[in-house]
């Protein structure tokens, strides 16, 4: 008899093998002082510990951070079916129920791209996507609430990317260019959100995007 989804999620957090009808866990590597030391010796920050699988797709993975000596949960950022999205919730709940901090949960494309969450490529891709989204702010015939909502969603995304990129990461392993570019983007978004006049907001966004376009062409 298959285990319930809640049981699979709980066992996932406890780093145990467990199978359900559409969810399962797969143990990759035990956490030991030796594996922590060997990973540090190889100058790696993370190693995989446990996979959370929905149907046949890995949508969650417990990673070991050898700098903080804590386990982290990386959840795939892409949207799947309604049932698979619910499975993400079970894996998240199981991780927290096992005594792990919610601060160590990262929704990131790193999982599907097979790279580390502090890879600067993720930051530059996110900045590009945020700038594409910002074009919506200056479109005609939109309500002020819609324009400001777009900026608010960009701020939340930038904050999440910053958290994923820098939280629990040693300073000497944080890519400086990516960090400053993301910080500048976030600073612009927060400053622009605080402007009271929506026409000034539109002008600020338009000028910002034009400057970026000229810089890229140059």
Q: What is the pLDDT of residues 24-47, one digit of tens each?
A: 999 889 999 999 999 988 899 999
Report the distance separating Cα 196 and Cα 93, nearest Å. 40
Let me know: does 208 contact 153? Beta carbons within 8 Å. Answer: no
Q: Among 113, 148, 177, which residue terminates a domain?
A: 113
Report the distance separating Cα 186 and Cα 159, nearest Å. 7
Question: Based on the domain organization, do 34 and 100 belong to the same domain?
Answer: yes
Burial (0-12, 13-18, 19+ Cβ within 10 Å), 172: exposed
Question: Based on the domain organization, do 207 and 124 belong to the same domain?
Answer: yes
pLDDT at 110 exceeding the cut of 90: yes
In the predicted model, what is the mean pLDDT of residues 1-6?
A: 86
pLDDT at 184 (0 to 100): 97
In the predicted model, what is the mean pLDDT of residues 156-169?
A: 97
Query: What's the total number of domains in the chain?
Result: 2
Q: Work out the pLDDT band at 90, boundaries 50, 70, 90.
A: very high
Question: Based on the domain organization, do 22 and 94 belong to the same domain?
Answer: yes
Q: Among 60, 95, 113, which residue terminates a domain?
A: 113
Question: Based on the domain organization, do 133 and 65 belong to the same domain?
Answer: no
Any residues with CB less than 8 A from the CB of 32 and at least 6 apart, and which? none
Residues spanned by the domain of 170: 120-217
List the structure tokens of 186. 């976030």
- pLDDT above 90 covers a percentage of the chain that reads 92
167: helix, strand or coil? coil
Question: Based on the domain organization, do 143 and 169 belong to the same domain?
Answer: yes
Report the distance separating Cα 210 and Cα 215, nearest Å. 9
Q: In three state form, how does the secondary structure of 47-65 look?
A: EEEEEEEECCEEEEEEEEE
pTM of the model: 0.91
Question: Based on the domain organization, do 9 and 98 belong to the same domain?
Answer: yes
Q: What is the pLDDT of residues 186-203, one digit of tens each?
A: 999 999 999 999 999 999
């Amino acid at each position: 008899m298959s285990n319930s989804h809640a049981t699979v999620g709980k066992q996932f957090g406890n780093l145990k093998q467990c199978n359900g009808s559409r969810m399962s866990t797969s143990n990759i590597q035990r956490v030991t002082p030796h594996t922590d030391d060997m990973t540090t010796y190889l100058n790696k920050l993370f190693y995989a510990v446990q996979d959370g699988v929905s149907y046949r797709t890995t949508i969650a993975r417990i990673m070991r951070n050898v700098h903080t000596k804590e386990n982290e949960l990386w959840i795939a950022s892409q949207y799947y079916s309604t049932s698979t999205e619910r499975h993400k919730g079970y894996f998240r709940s199981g991780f927290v129920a096992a005594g792990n901090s919610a601060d160590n949960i990262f929704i990131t494309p790193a999982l599907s791209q097979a790279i580390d969450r502090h890879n600067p490529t993720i930051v530059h891709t996110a900045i590009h996507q945020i700038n594409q989204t910002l074009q919506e702010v200056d479109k005609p015939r939109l309500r002020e609430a819609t324009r400001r909502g777009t900026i608010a969603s960009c701020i939340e995304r930038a904050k999440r990317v910053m958290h994923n990129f820098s939280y629990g990461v040693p300073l000497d392993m944080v890519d400086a260019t990516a960090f400053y570019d993301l910080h500048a983007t976030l600073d612009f978004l927060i400053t622009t959100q605080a402007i009271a006049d929506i026409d000034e907001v539109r002008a600020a966004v338009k000028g910002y995007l034009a400057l970026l376009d000229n810089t890229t062409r140059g």
